[in-house]
Amino acid sequence: MRPLMFSCKDVSGLLSLSFDKELSFGQKMRLKMHLRMCKLCARHKKQLSFIHDFLHNGLQDQHEALASKTLPTETKEQIKAKIRDHQK
């Protein structure tokens, strides 16, 4: 028979796993019970959520912002001309 509560070590692994796949109903319930009683694991969950959200949303936002910043065509042509002149 499984223990009613997960250990902190179990919770750490399940929290990471929960970002990649759906946990079973039993896992979810035991995880919620542990998180309500253990402030350290609850804090760890918040930290993992922040990191996950940043990596999935924050980096995408940064990539889109960088992609939208392009040089004007005239400036690009001037740079190309200087490169060609330098290669001669």
In which band, very low, low, confident or very high, does the pLDDT at 46 lie, cut at 50, 70 and 90? Answer: very high
Specify if 2 maps to a domain: no
Specify if 64 maps to a domain: yes
Range of the domain at 31: 8-87
Q: Which of 7-11, 38-42, 58-62, 82-86 has the lowest mean pLDDT?
A: 58-62
Specify if 39 maps to a domain: yes
Specify if 1 maps to a domain: no
Q: What is the pLDDT of residues 51-71, one digit of tens each?
A: 888 887 766 666 666 666 677
The total of structural domains in the chain comes to 1
Specify if 41 maps to a domain: yes
Specify the pLDDT at position 1: 44
Nearest C-alpha neighbor of 43 from the set 67, 23, 15, 18:
15
Specify if 30 maps to a domain: yes
Specify if 15 maps to a domain: yes
